[in-house]
Structures are given as structure tokens and as C-alpha cells.
A and B are shown apart, each in its own frame.
Chain A
Amino acid sequence: MHASLRAVAEPHDEGAVADQRASFEDFFHAEHARLFRALCLVTGSRQEAEEVAQEAFLKLWERWDRVSGLEDSTAYLYRTAMNAFRSRYRSKMRALKRAVVVAPATDDAFAAIEDRDIVIRALRELIPQQRAAIVLTALLGYSSEEAGQMLGIKASTVRALSTRARTTMRERVGEAT
């Protein structure tokens, strides 16, 4: 049997691929700035925020055929970003064994960036976990349950973290004003 040979085809539906890409690009432009800003507050670093945002968007892009069908792809984006944020901090911990200085973290980039804003200054006082909780709830308006899902913790823990963060920030803001 001799088959009539034909060149291997590209994926059949090029139009669908183009639509997917356009759809994702729209999503990116609609969501990037907001996510980036939130991550700046959470991570304390513009560079870190952009890295996390890129990582999250890339993951969504690779799964866009499924993610775009989700009821709330924005929540999925933030959840992916928060996972990336957590993973990156876990990675940082690898170097921990070499740490010898008993002192508060010195790599908090808040020290190197916007230092004038009272809220940003107050956020510096918080542990990143608290920052994430309060940014998700206070800035982005997610419920404790939703934020808990994004952070992989219980809603009650989110509430506790937010409350603690709020208390600290209130004190700092109060002092400053």
C-alpha cells in the first residue's frame, strides 16, 4: 500500500488559535496593571512584582483554552500569582541555612523604593503573609474565603492576618499622622 503523501498540516483551526491569542491579550491588558500594583504592595518590590506577574500570566496563557472558560478567570489569575509569590519565597529560603545574622529581613525592597507613602511605610512593618492578606481583602475586595483560597490558607487565618495587619497599620498610620 502506498499512501498518497501530504505535508504534515499545521493545527487545523488557525482562526481559533488567533482568537485565543487575541482573547488572552485583551485579558492581559485589562488585568496587568492592577495585578502588578497589588503585587508591588504584597512583595514590596517592583522587580519582584513584575516577575511574579509575568510568571502568573505565562501560566494562564499556557492554559488559556481552559482558563478563559472559567467563570472568574481574574480570580484564577490572582490565585496563580499568589501561588507564584509563595513559591518564590520558599525558594528564597534555600539560602537560609547560610543565614547568620539574627535580624529582621534586610532584603525587603520596601526600604529601597517608595518610602514616602504612609501606607507603604506601614506595610513594611508587616510580614508578607499579612501583606498578601490585607492587599487581597482591603485593596482588591476579595472576601476572606476567596483570599484564603488564593493563599492556600483558611478564611479564618486570612481574617486573623488581616486583623493583625490592620491593627499594625492603624498604629503606624496613626503615629505618622
Chain B
Amino acid sequence: VIDERELFERAAGRFDPPTDAWDRLHRRRDRKRRNQRVAAGALSLALVAAGLGVVISVLRDADRPLPGGGSNQVVRPEIVGPCFEGDPCFDTDIYRIRVDGSEFARLGTDPARDIAFSVSADDARIAFHRVEGDSASTSTADIYTMTFDGTDVRRLTDDPAIDGFPAFSPDGTQIAFASGRAGTFDIFVMNADGTDVVRVTEFQNDGLDDLHPTWSPDGTRIAFIRGLAPPGKAGRLWVMDADGSDGHVLLDEPLVGFPAWSPDGTRIAFQMELASETRIGVLELATGNVLDLGPGALPRWSPDSSRLAISDVGGGIEIIDLADESRTFIAGSGDAPVWSPDGRWIVFNDAGLTAGGKDAAKPVLQAPSPGEAIAGFTESGIPFLVVRHSDGTLTAVEAVSPHLATGDVRKLLGWCVSSRTFDDKFHGARFDEFGRYVSGPSPSGLVPLSVEVVTGEPPTFRLGDRLPALPRDGSGQMPTGPLCMDLEATPLVAPDIAESGLTPEELAASSPTIGSRWSIEGTLLVSPGGEAWLCASYVDDICEAGAPVTGPIVEGEDELVVEGTWFVIVQDGQLVDPIRAA
């Protein structure tokens, strides 16, 4: 008698590992870092020179490729297709999230790309720039403000050149911004209502851009970035009096961007290119020391100067506590975080939430009512749903479908849904009894989608029966294409229950309760509506090799008549009735 483990050891031993694995891993890591650097550089370039934020999600995409290699695309059912960077439908809007993650709101729905940069200390108005146009050559941007609720949107500048990076003065009466109206970018200051625009940087015509203004807390000076116009990357950190006098370099490092003067006046945080990586630096004004806080971009101070909100390299938002440099992850998707004056909220912008969707009448995290679900992607790109059952309970489920590869959430909803506990960063997202988001690492990336979630007992049926209901997407269409099997339902093989090692209770627990899915070991033929697929083999819950079957199908020849909505099972070449567990 040969021990089973010994057999496996022997089999495994036939495979000698490659001797250069460690070197290959090194090269792979270097390659990935290079890609990240390219993306980080593209962020600065895009913000400054190519239309102020058109490609603001590049960091996310570089570090976290989603299925299909696309961007963080989430599609609403009513929209024709996903939007990618550069598409006319690509959009960024402004959101706010409580620092503890307990509340979340979308503040705008304009089809132009809105990016917030400052919140006034007195009345918490949000200053943002709005980019219009679909390419770098045609894009323009102007400065706007709105209330903290996203209402009362006021346009402050109306110049054909790019006006961007607005920064409220500490007393809220003025806004500094950068504008290209004089050829290269210069710093301008205007009243908070857009009047009395004054150009304050008028250095020699040396072709340098002046960008990213930030006020000293006493309002007497402005720090900014001064760098080469082409290629539009960040430059050196400068400071000047608020009227433009006494301008001089403050930090002689050439690749610094987005400075933020701490409210206590002692430090200036910024992003910097260090060892070809975008990192957060903090300049201590009293000593000239620069503290390196690690990877990140676009730092902004909390009102008490104890923390920094940053865009992390994964395309999300983190908070760094300066006391111990610890990081807290608060949103999986988003850029350019800005604190509210009371320190309770972070305002940021995000594209993934709105890609393709302009209808934001409903809040992003609206409670899913029965028959609805919230869909999103976990950090590693696994699509999931939060569904509300008829009894009011909520379940987070993983959505698995061939269509995830194309980001077409419509087609995966209600189909191929299996219960699963998430171990990604969305794990732990909690919802209250009304389905409202309560807490969790990030609600960002979630979009309400209307789907029909079939609840209750899975339908039982026999060959030739018409199923009473099948999952449909928001438009009422049946999913098409190759189908999935439910991992949990895989062992549903009645004749072999005893041999399968499952107790009846385990079988019952494995019975699907969401959607109507059945899987039988062996070959599976499924017709979700007009199209049948014969699955010859499957991997995980995915049909790995199959083909559509059409036309008259005769029992015994792997063929069946496909008409309407049917589930048909072929096992070992023979048609069998679906068998329900328990």
C-alpha cells in the first residue's frame, strides 16, 4: 500500500523548479516599479499640462490592473457601455466621505471633470476646477465653487486658457489659482466671488510655469511650484509674499509638486519624485529638514496639522498620522483629497464612480431595496454585489462572470453569483438594517444597479419545464454568453451523496439561494434565454471549454430543443433532471 501523500510527493518531485526564479522575480519587480513610475509621472504631466486631471486615475490603473486591463470602470445599466480615459463620457466628480468612513455623498454630476482642491475655512465652500473638452489640445478649465452639499455652483473664471488649482486664503476671502492666460502658467489671486483678478507672479519670461499655490496660515505668503513648462512636470518649491513680491526658492529640489502649507505654519507637505517614485515629503520650515513619508501624492493637511490625507499609489485615499507615520486606508478609489474645516470630512474626486453614468439623482450608496443590488470592485478587481433579500437581510456576494472581463456589470448581475466572504479591502464593509453603508475600508467604487435578485427557494424543474424565473439585468435582458457554475453548488450530485462526503445538511447549505443556478458534475448544457451552451469542462465556477448549441437538439446526441428559458443538464452524455440538494 502506497501512502497517498507519498504518491503526490513523488509526482511533484518530477518538476524541478527553475534555478533563476529569484532573479526573475527581481526583474519582474523592477518592471512593475518602472510601470508605476511612468504612471506617476503621467499623473503630474496630466494634471499640469494635459488638461488638469484628465488622467487622474493613472496611478490606480498602474498598480491595480482590473479584469480586462481597463480602468476602474463601473457601468450603470442604463448606459450603453463603459467609459475609458479619453472617452467623451469619461467623467470625474466630487465626493465627500467622513474620515471614519461612516458617511459618503456625491456632490456633483456635471459631465465635465471636476476636481476639488480647497475648502474654505469660514463657510466650507469647495473650490474646484472643471475641465471641459476631450483631449489635451481642446481641454480648458475654469474655477468654480459650490457649497459643501454640492449646491449653489458658481463659476468664478471664464477664460479660454486653463485656470486651475484653486486655493482659498485662510480667511476665505480670496482664492489663489494658476492660469495659463499669460502664456505660461502664473499665480493669480482673486476675490472669493471671482472679482478683482490679479496676476501675482510676473517673473522674467523664462518659460517657467508657476503652479499649485498654497497659502501660509496667516495669509501673507503663498508657496507654489515653479518649473519648466514643457514637459509640464513639477518644479521647485518657491515662496513669495501674497502680492507677488520677494519670490524665492524654498526647496532646491527639482521634482516637487502640490505643496500644502500646514495650518500651524511650521511645515509644508508636498509630493516629490524620489528615486523615480512619487512620495510624500514634509519640509520643516524651522530646520529645513525634509521628512520622507513614503509613497503617495497630493497631500493635504488636517486642520489640526496632525495628519495628512494623500492619494495612495493604489489609486485610493489614505490618511497619514504624523505622530507615528501610520496610515489609515479610507477609500479604495479617489484622488486629490481635501479636508473639511472641521476635520470630519474628506472631499475628493473620483472617476470610477461615474464612468459612463451621469444620472446621480440617487446617492452612490443608496440602500439596495429588494430586487436591487450595489455593485463594485474589490481592491484586486473582483466584482461583487451587495444584495438585499426579501427578508431584509443583506449579503455581500462575489459576482463571477465572463463579462467581468469587459467590465460589463450588467451582464454579470443576477448571474453566476456565489456567496463568499471577501478578504479584500472591501471585506468588512457593513450595512445597517436599511442597507445604508455603515463602515468599512471604502465604499468608493460602488454603484447602485438595478437587478432582479431571485430570492427564496431555488426553482425546481424537470427537463422540459419552463423555469419560473431567471435572473435578469437592469434592462430586463437575460444574460447571454458562456455561463458559470456555482462553486457552492458543485457537489449537488444526488446519486453520489453518500460517496461525496457531504451530509444532507452540508448539501442544503450548499444550495444556492441567490439567482437560479444549478450545476451538476460532468458536462453541463445551459440555456439562459435563446442561447444554449454546452460546457465540456470548467475551471472553478467558470465554463472553461464550451460552445453555443443552436437548432433542434435530440436527446442522446447531446442535443436538445432550445426554446425560451430552459435549464438542461447533460451528465456523462446523458440528459438528466436537475437534482436539488436536500
What is A's interface to B at a CB cutoff of 8 Å?
A: 1-12, 25, 28-29, 32-33, 36-38, 40-41, 46, 49-50, 53-54, 57-58, 61-62, 83, 86-87, 89-94, 96-97, 99-106, 114, 117-120, 123, 127-129, 135, 138-139, 141, 152-154, 156-157, 159-164, 166-167, 173
Interface membership of B542, Cβ < 8 A: yes
With contact pairs A6-B290, A8-B281, A157-B491 given, residues A58 and B15 touching in the complex (Cβ less than 8 Å) = no
**Are B405 and A46 closer than 8 Å at their CB atoms?**
no
Closest to A25 in B: B22
Asked if B251 is at the interface of the complex by the 8 Å CB criterion, the answer is: yes
Give the shortest distance, in Å, between A83 (CB) and chain B (any CB): 8
Tell me if A32 and B283 are in contact (CB < 8 A): no
Of B8, B400, B502, the residue contacting A90 (CB under 8 A) is B400
A1 proximity list for chain B (CB < 8 A): 239, 285
CB-defined contacts of B538 to chain A, threshold 8 Å: 127, 129
Closest 5 CB pairs of A and B: A160-B491, A37-B12, A139-B8, A119-B11, A4-B288
Kindly list chain A residues whose C-beta atoms are within 8 Å of the C-beta of B510.
154, 156-157
Residues of chain B in range 161-207 having any CB-CB distance to chain A below 8 Å: none
Of B101-109, B344-352, B443-451, B482-490, the one touching chain A:
B482-490
Contact of B487 among A92, A135, A157 (CB under 8 A): A157
Q: Is B543 touching A96 in the complex (CB atoms < 8 A)?
A: yes
Q: Size class of B's contact patch?
A: 35 or more
13 A-B contacts, Cβ less than 8 Å apart?
A2-B248, A5-B251, A28-B21, A36-B15, A61-B25, A92-B544, A118-B7, A119-B10, A138-B4, A138-B8, A141-B5, A152-B398, A164-B500
Is the pair A6, B545 in contact by a Cβ cutoff of 8 Å? no
In the complex, the answer to whether A153 meets B8 with C-beta atoms within 8 Å is no
Query: Complex: how many Å from CA A135 to CA B544?
Result: 20
* Distance between Cα atoms of A46 and B286 in the complex (Å): 59
Residues of A within 8 A of B275 (CB): 10
Q: Known contacts being A103-B545, A156-B509, is A93 close to B402, with CB within 8 Å? A: yes
| B24 contacts chain A at the CB level, 8 A cutoff | yes
Question: Are B537 and A99 interface neighbours, CB within 8 A?
Answer: no
A91 touches B545 (CB 8 A): no
B544 close to A5 (CB less than 8 A): no
Contacts of B540 in A (CB 8 A): 86, 89-90, 128-129
Residues on A with beta carbons closer than 8 Å to the beta carbon of B9 = 139
A18 to chain B minimum Cβ distance, whole angstroms, is 15
The answer to whether the Cβ of B68 comes within 8 Å of any Cβ in the partner chain is yes
CA distance A113 to B487 in the complex (A): 29
- Chain B residues with CB under 8 Å of A135's CB are 8
Contact: A161 with B490, CB < 8 Å?
Answer: yes
Instruction: Decide yes or no whether B276 CB sits under 8 A from chain A.
Output: no
**CB closest chain-A residue, reference B63:** A62
In whole angstroms, what is the CA distance A90 to B246 when docked? 60
Complex contacts, A2 vs chain B, CB 8 Å = 248, 250
Q: Are B287 and A49 in contact (CB under 8 A)?
A: no
Residues of chain B lying within 8 A (CB to CB) of residue A6: 288-290
CB–CB A89/B29 < 8 A = no
Contact A90 B404 (CB under 8 A): yes
Q: Which of B1-41 contact A (CB under 8 A)?
A: 4-5, 7-15, 17-18, 21-22, 24-25, 28-29, 32
Residues of B contacting A90 with CB < 8 Å?
Answer: 67, 400, 404-405, 540, 542
What residues make up the interface of B, taking CB atoms closer than 8 Å to A? 4-5, 7-15, 17-18, 21-22, 24-25, 28-29, 32, 67-68, 239, 248, 250-253, 272, 274-275, 281, 283-290, 292, 294, 380, 398, 400, 402, 404-406, 420, 423, 481-482, 487-488, 490-491, 496, 499-502, 506, 509-510, 521, 534, 536-540, 542-547, 549, 558
| B5 engages A93 (CB within 8 Å) | no
Q: Across the interface, which residues of B come within 8 angstroms of A129, CB to CB?
A: 487, 490, 538-540
Contact call B537/A36, Cβ cutoff below 8 A: no
Q: Contacting A160 at CB < 8 Å: which of B248, B501, B542?
A: B501
CA gap between A26 and B11 in the complex, in Å: 26
> Which residues of the partner chain A approach B22 to less than 8 Å between Cβ atoms?
25, 28-29, 32
User: When the two chains form their complex, are residues A91 and B405 in contact, meaning their CB atoms are under 8 A apart?
Assistant: yes
Known: A58-B28, A58-B32, A90-B67. A160 touches B544 (CB 8 A): no
**Chain A: CB-nearest residue to B273:** A8
* Closest Cβ–Cβ distance, residue B240 to chain A (whole Å): 12
User: Which residues of the other chain, A, contact B239 by a CB distance below 8 angstroms?
Assistant: 1
Q: How far is the CA of A138 from the CA of B7 in the complex (A)?
A: 9
Partner of A93 from B253, B287, B482, B496 at Cβ < 8 Å? B482
CA gap between A25 and B406 in the complex, in Å: 37
Whether B32 pairs with A36 at a CB distance below 8 angstroms is no
Complex-state Cα separation, A131 to B141, whole angstroms: 56
- Please measure, in the bound complex, the distance between the C-alpha atom of A3 and the C-alpha atom of B287, giving whole angstroms: 6
Nearest CB in chain B: distance from A149 CB, A: 8
Instruction: Pick the residue among B5, B15, B29, B402 that contacts A49 (CB under 8 A).
Output: B15
Give chain B residues whose Cβ lies under 8 Å from the Cβ of A25.
22
Identify which of A7, A12, A40, A141 gathers the most chain B CB atoms within 10 Å of its CB.
A40
| A41 in contact with B12 (CB, 8 Å) | yes
Query: A141 contacts which chain B residues (CB < 8 A)?
Result: 5
Residues of the B chain whose Cβ atoms lie less than 8 Å from the Cβ of A103:
536, 545
When C-beta atoms are compared, the residue in chain A nearest to B15 turns out to be: A40
Q: In the assembled complex, which residues on chain A have CB atoms less than 8 Å from the CB atom of B294?
A: 11
The residue on B at minimum CB distance from A38 is B12
Q: Which residue of A lies closest to B400 (CB)?
A: A90
Closest-by-CB residue of B relative to A99 is: B547
Is the beta-carbon distance between B288 and A5 smaller than 8 angstroms?
yes
Q: Which residues of B contact A106 (CB under 8 A)?
A: 545
